[in-house]
Amino acid sequence: MAGALKPQAKLVIATGMTAESILPTLVQKRWHRLDDLVVLSQNRYDPWESRLDIDYTFVRGSSLETGPTESYVFTAAELRRMLNAAGFDTLSFQGSAAGEPYRLGSPRLIIIAQRR
């Protein structure tokens, strides 16, 4: 991104996958219903790899489909360090578009950074 942006250009990143956002409320098993679709998600967090593994099961009528996902989980500070190493200055962390502070348990992190 630093190569694509002019100096002083701003970069905004919004994510709900930081460690501070997901780990405090992570449950092992969750059921969701979306109209006639039932979804089971089974979560496992691997602290050695900082990875969240989720196995999904989708049920619609008599049809059943499954699939795994892997997501690497970074702390907000790790993201700031990566941005700094890539040529950005991190200007702020926000917990919402309204500008409230990002805190442990905030469901979303909005990072505002500026290219050096």
Domain ranges of the chain: 1-18+74-116, 26-72
Residues 19-45, mean pLDDT to the nearest whole number: 97
CA–CA dist 22, 17 (Å, integer):
6
Structure tokens at 19: 């460690």
Residue 86: other Cβ atoms inside 10 A: 14
Q: For the whole model, what pTM was predicted?
A: 0.84
Architecture of domain 26-72: Single Sheet (2.20)
> How much is the pLDDT for 99?
94
Q: Is 94 helix (H, G, I), strand (E, B) or coil?
A: strand
pLDDT for the residue 91: 97
